Amino acid sequence: MNEQRTCTECDGEGKTTVTTTKNSTCETCHGQGRMPASWPETEDVVCYTCNGAGEQVNNQTETKVCRACNGVGHIRHEVPENSAQ
Output the pTM of the full model. 0.46
Whether 76 contacts 6, CB under 8 Å: no
Q: Where are the domains of the chain?
A: 2-78
**Residue 1 — very low, low, confident or very high, per pLDDT cuts 50/70/90?**
low
Whether 53 contacts 26, CB under 8 Å: yes
Which tens digit of pLDDT belongs to each residue from 51-78? 999 999 889 999 999 999 999 999 887 7
Which tens digit of pLDDT belongs to each residue from 17-61? 989 999 999 999 999 999 888 777 778 899 999 999 999 988 999
CA-to-CA distance for 47 and 32, rounded, in angstroms? 8
